[in-house]
């Protein structure tokens, strides 16, 4: 087995490159060296460097390890990447639709208090998460949809904004199923069949989302 340091380098090196590029952008540094670090710190480039460094973990560079190990990795990762890519494409389609106007009219026309709005926000995030699989996309899309509505509902205090964030985060956790790459990570590396993963992991993600919503509403009624 490789050493711990050698094992962590393929993970830590891309993170360090991306973080360095972020610091350079924040500090507005320029020059040839800064431009080089900005290029190396681009997520795709940094992750590709991490993949290259991970090849050093192979015990031998022969056909068995190069073709066998990498081939099995591609077989396991391929469906996950395809499903995740399809979910991201669907998320882009949703952002191009007039759903923002529909949600804005619903919230401003029929919601008179923060509690129903928090529930609607949770349902939007949960629908986006369940339909396209990405929690990040669900968080970003839901935030961009509800942000213009908040002043009209008087939700501008730090506590109100925190509750909205909690509602969005709770919805983005529910539910994880076949279009979520993490669903396959959990099921494949745990040796679970699809039906077993649905009954265990998917159900747990639903329960954690509902628990987050219940906690959000409880805090709202306590602080209201």
Q: For 180-192, how does the pLDDT look when each residue is reduced to its tens digit (9 = 90+)? A: 878 888 888 888 8
- The pTM of the full predicted model, rounded to 2 decimals, is 0.61
| pLDDT for residue 124 is more than 80 | yes
Rg for the chain, CA atoms, rounded? 22
Based on the domain organization, do 194 and 125 belong to the same domain?
A: yes
In the Cβ-directed half-sphere of 167, how many Cα atoms lie within 13 Å? 26
Where residue 6 falls among pLDDT bands split at 50, 70, 90? confident
Same domain, 98 and 24: no
- Residue 196 domain-assigned (yes or no): yes
- Is the preceding omega at residue 175 within 30 degrees of 0, hence cis? yes
How many folded domains does the chain comprise? Answer: 2
17-to-23, 34, 45, 148 alpha-carbon distances in Å: 10, 12, 9, 35
d(Cα 142, Cα 128) in Å, to the nearest integer?
8
pLDDT band at 80 (very low <50, low <70, confident <90, very high): low
Structural domain of 137: 88-223
Neighbouring residues of 216: CB distance < 8 A, sequence distance ≥ 6: 118, 122, 163, 166, 167, 170
């Amino acid at each position: 087995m490789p050493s711990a340091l050698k094992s962590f380098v393929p993970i830590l090196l891309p993170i360090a490159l991306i973080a360095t590029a972020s610091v350079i952008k924040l500090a507005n540094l320029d020059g040839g060296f800064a431009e080089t670090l900005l290029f190396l710190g681009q997520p795709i480039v940094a992750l590709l460097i991490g993949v290259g460094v991970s090849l050093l973990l192979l015990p031998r560079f022969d056909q068995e390890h190069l073709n066998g190990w990498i081939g099995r990795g591609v077989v396991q990762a391929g469906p996950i990447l395809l499903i995740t890519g399809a979910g991201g494409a669907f998320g882009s389609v949703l952002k191009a639709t007039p759903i923002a106007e529909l949600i804005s009219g619903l919230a401003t026309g029929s919601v008179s208090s923060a509690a129903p709005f928090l529930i609607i926000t949770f349902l939007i995030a949960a629908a986006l998460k369940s339909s396209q699989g990405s929690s990040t996309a669900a968080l970003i899309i839901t935030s961009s949809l509800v942000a213009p509505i908040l002043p009209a509902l008087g939700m501008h205090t730090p506590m109100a904004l925190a509750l909205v964030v909690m509602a969005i985060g709770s919805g983005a956790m529910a539910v994880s199923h076949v279009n979520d790459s993490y669903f396959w990570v959990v099921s494949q590396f745990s040796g679970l069949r699809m039906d077993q993963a649905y009954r265990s992991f998917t159900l747990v993600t639903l329960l954690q989302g509902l628990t987050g919503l219940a906690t959000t509403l409880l805090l709202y009624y306590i602080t209201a």
